[in-house]
Structure 1
Amino acid sequence: MSKQERGRPPLPEPLGVPTVDSHTHLEACGAETAADVAEIVDRAESVGVTRVVTIADDLDAARWAAQASTWDDRVWAAVAIHPTRTKDFGPAEQSEVERLAAGERIVAIGETGLDYYWDYSPPDAQREAFRWHIDLAKRLRKPLMIHDREAHEDILRVLDEEGAPEDVVFHCFSGDEDFARRCVDRGFVLSFAGTVTFRKASGLHDAARFVPSGQFLVETDAPFLTPHPHRGRPNEPYCAAYTVRGIAELRGQSAEEVAEAARVNAERVFRLPVVTSP
């Protein structure tokens, strides 16, 4: 049975306080129009996920994300060229990314970084593009949102060599407690996706237990990485509520405490308007 045949997971019980999906791909979730975006975010808001950051990974997606962020006050955006797409990342592409990134509703430069799992772009091209995005984030004074797949050591090395921006977010954090500690010591923020709910992700569980309350975010990376127990079904921003509860169980906290911390951290990192929980 295909993902679409199985359909989306059921709506979870609403969270008691609002939170933020800090990394989703609304276009990949099937959104094309303002009405599509509103429908997806309405579902999320119905369970307490009241704002989302939609992410771009190529120029077309960046243009769409920038536009979509103007359609709905609950939507913000991040733009960059994904490391697997950096093979042909030249001056024209850089100029367009920089133009889009300067937009008022663009709250981060991302996702950028290194991906040594796929071989779509040579490592040297990835590293060169990563350094360029780091510089852009510093020049625009916006957070850097990192994609890190099987590249932990090189990610830290490049950040140390270039000098990290004030705010660095490790999207879909995939390290263990030791790597989490090294990131936290540098002041970085760890964003946890549905993978943190997977039963065999013991290293990731340890990282989620360790990370200080002021240095984590919650994300879906929708339509990918649907949380347990709905792996294999299409993900959407409302499923962040499942991940919030999974993190809460790992940390021995209430879902409301985790949701609140994730929201406050997202407001600080992305400079979002502050919302007071009821």
Structure 2
Amino acid sequence: MPHSAPQGPSEPERPHRPERIERRARAQEPPPLPEPLAVPVADSHTHLDMQEPSVAEALAAASSVGVETLVQVGCDLERSRWAAQVAADHESVWAAVALHPNEAPRLAAEGGDGLLDEALAGIGKLAALPEVLAVGETGLDYFRTGPEGVEAQQRSFRAHIELAKRLDKALVIHDREAHQDVLRILAEEGAPERTVFHCYSGDAEMAQLCAAKGWFMSFAGNVTFKNARPLREALAVAPPELVLVETDAPFLTPAPYRGRPNAPYLIPVTLRAMAETLGMPETSLATHVAANTARAFGY
């Protein structure tokens, strides 16, 4: 699906970045460029709006190491608009739009169901754009939101599932400490044909369940962490035809650069660690990942 031509020489103004992210990004030097991949792949989930370089610089660095496609993910209405515009302006970028699970209870607390419905309607309009290939990241996050936010999160999740199915877009799921409810709601609503568990966080048993359903599992830099054996065990049982790789940048920087800013150009570090876990040649895994990402998002 072709993108529209760039509309101007400069990128759209980025949404406001939390001061904490600003301070952390500026305090750390970016990791060096890794050795380029022989087989180009995609970063299936990144947040360019929260990263230090310009979009053009980020795309150039990624391309130089074999990361030729990026999925830019919005987490609220403003950031989703930004994601769609950047995807329209750059041939190598596609967009995913949604209200993050933690955004739904914030909106509900601020303005009740009416404000949440208004934001969901805005996401629906953006999701219909040709440069937007996915609805996400949506889902459930019980780590940061207490019991008072569960109802709004689940209501928002159900609305996003319906939207993805109605528009035939991929569904990108954020699942943090909410595995059982995520799986239950997917069963109740019926999962879209193309469903992606972003930053996969389940165990090997859940990975087998996802595989049986044909759901994609996207692994981020935390699969390289020393304490991430359950993630590596999950990766080991995930079928290669359902595995994706992502940065979730600027978060989850892979070892040995943990604690420094993440960026799409670091995908090769994570992919090589994944290949080692799987006992596969790097090129074989990259070939799978490239085809899987295109199939998952439909480009």
TM norm. shorter chain > 0.5: yes
2:90 is the counterpart of 1:90: no
Structure 1 position 23 matched with structure 2 position 29: no
- Equivalents in 2 of 1:153, 1:5: separation in Å? 38
Task: Count how many residue pairs are aligned between Structure 1 and Structure 2.
Answer: 268
Name the SS for the 2:255 alignment partner.
coil
In the alignment, structure 1 residue 148 sits paired with structure 2 residue 175: yes
Task: State the distance in 2 between where 1:130 and 1:168 align.
Answer: 13
Which amino acid in 2 is paired with 1:28? M
Judge which range, 11-20 or 117-126, deviates more: 117-126
Structure 1 vs Structure 2 CA RMSD: 1.3
Amino acid of the residue matched to residue 233 of structure 1?
R
* Correspondence for 1:276: none
Is structure 2 residue 32 aligned with structure 1 residue 14? no
Q: Does 2:249 correspond to 1:222?
A: yes
Query: Runs of 5+ in structure 1 lacking a partner?
Result: 273-278
Q: Is the 8 A contact 1:218 1:243 kept in 2?
A: yes
Q: Counterparts of 1:168 and 1:54 in 2: how far apart (Å)? A: 17
Deviation >4 Å, runs of 4+ = none
Cα distance in 2, alignment partners of residues 6 and 81 from structure 1:
29
The Cα offsets for residues 161-180 of structure 1, whole Å up to 9 and x where unpaired, read as 00111011000001111111
Give the counterpart of 1:138 among 165, 176, 181: 165
Residue 224 of structure 1: SS of its match in structure 2?
A: coil
| Cα distance in 2, alignment partners of residues 114 and 6 from structure 1 | 30
1:38 aligns to what? Answer: 56
Matched-pair identity in %:
48
Residue equivalent to 2:68: 50
Residue equivalent to 1:200: 227
TM-score w.r.t. structure 1 length?
0.94
Alignment counterpart, residue 184 of structure 1, candidates 192, 211, 214: 211
Deviation of 1:235 (Å) = 0.3
> When you count helix as a share of all residues, which structure comes out higher?
2
Q: Shift in Å at residue 199 of structure 1?
A: 1.5
Q: Is 1:246 matched with 2:273?
A: yes
TM-score, normalised via structure 2 length: 0.87
Deviations 1:92-139 (A, max 9, x none): 212110000001010100000000000277001100000000000000
Deviation at 1:201, TM superposition (A): 0.7
Structure 1 residue 2 displacement after superposition: 5.3
Are the equivalent residues in 1 in contact too, given 2:217–2:242 (CA < 8 A)? yes
Change (3 A) 1:2 1:23: closer
- Which 5+ residue runs of structure 2 have no aligned equivalent? 1-22, 108-114
